[in-house]
Amino acid sequence: MNGAIGRRGFLGRTAALAAGAPLMLQGNLHAQQAVPPPPKQFKKIGVEEHWTALNVIEAAGRTPSGTANRQADLDAIRLGEMDAAGVTMQVISNSSYQFLTDAAKATDLAKVNNEILAEAVVKHPTRFAGMAALPTQDPKAAVAELERAVTKLKLRGAMIEGQDHVHWEFLDSQAFRPLWECAASLEVPLYLHPNIPNSESVKLLEGHAEVQNLMWAGAIYTGTQVLRIIGSGVFDEFPKAKLILGHLGELLPYWLGRLDEGARAWKVKKPPSAYIKENIFISTSGHYHPEALTCAINAIGSDHILFATDFAAVNGDLAVQFFERTPMSDEDRERIYHLNAERLFKL
């Protein structure tokens, strides 16, 4: 199904190529010294590509930075960086609303900015697709906005950035069951992105700024939220629901065996690893190490992995270079670069 190449398979393929080398000596000497053909070129669809409108940053009481100004662009800057990296399309996420404490303000801004994003998609239909912002501060309003964004604005799902900053509600809560039901019925994914945890939520992090960041605390915190979602039975109740995680799965693909060892404590129908392989997709955003991607392919299969550059935090060239350095079959590369995104987002 996934075409993944394990270490033994990779070494075997290398040995086979080496065994065929003597036959090449019978050919033209110039051909022997020729530069190998370039790798196959595939469409590239990035699925964690942030857009944060400046009005959201201001409403959160923060000062826009240089990165924030790039991230607020929906035209020349974004398209120029995509072209430089060879990225065909971005699935742009309308993000950062979970930092807002005023539910009414969050709802108003989400509606306005989802419309702006939808207009940008209409303007650049072959380059942009969009994921909505949801005012999860008010679960009922979030459901209404998801339905509107998908059915009226033709957006392809929604991104939610951690619930730690808003009323201590998590997506496994019964209050969010209607949101899962709505996403499943519309057949669109929800993308759960980390926030930096509130210091009151994880005492283990107190006094250690080196672990209070998105790279460690954010991954552990988001992965734990996903385990809560699985353990609460969301995917048993809504088996068609799909969840996307960035950063190669927030550590979860590398912990499947350990999770299943403790499966007796879970009150769900399947082993935890089954939900991670069936209901969850992961993206390559912000995790640029070939050995980690190789492990993810072998753990969950290439058909549940999506390419992403993590615009505007990361230079798109680096994301592509990392991906090209990772050994995999052409079939896996094409799935991850664009086929999986086209299937999941119905592009």
Tell me how far apart the alpha carbons of residues 219 and 288 are, in angstroms, rounded to a whole number: 15
Q: How many CB atoms lie within 10 A of CB 74?
A: 21
| CA angle (178, 133, 229) in 5-degree steps | 45
Instruction: Pick the closest to residue 91 from 44, 136, 55, 54 (CA basis).
Output: 44
| CA angle (90, 279, 189) in 5-degree steps | 35
- The one catalytic residue in 138, 172, 303, 310 is 310
Look-up: residue for tokens 């080496």?
18
**CB of 230 closer than 8 Å to CB of 272:** yes
For 329, the 3-state DSSP assignment is coil
**CB of 300 closer than 8 Å to CB of 249:** yes
For 93, the 3-state DSSP assignment is strand
Active site residue 172: no
Q: Mind telling me the catalytic residues? A: 310
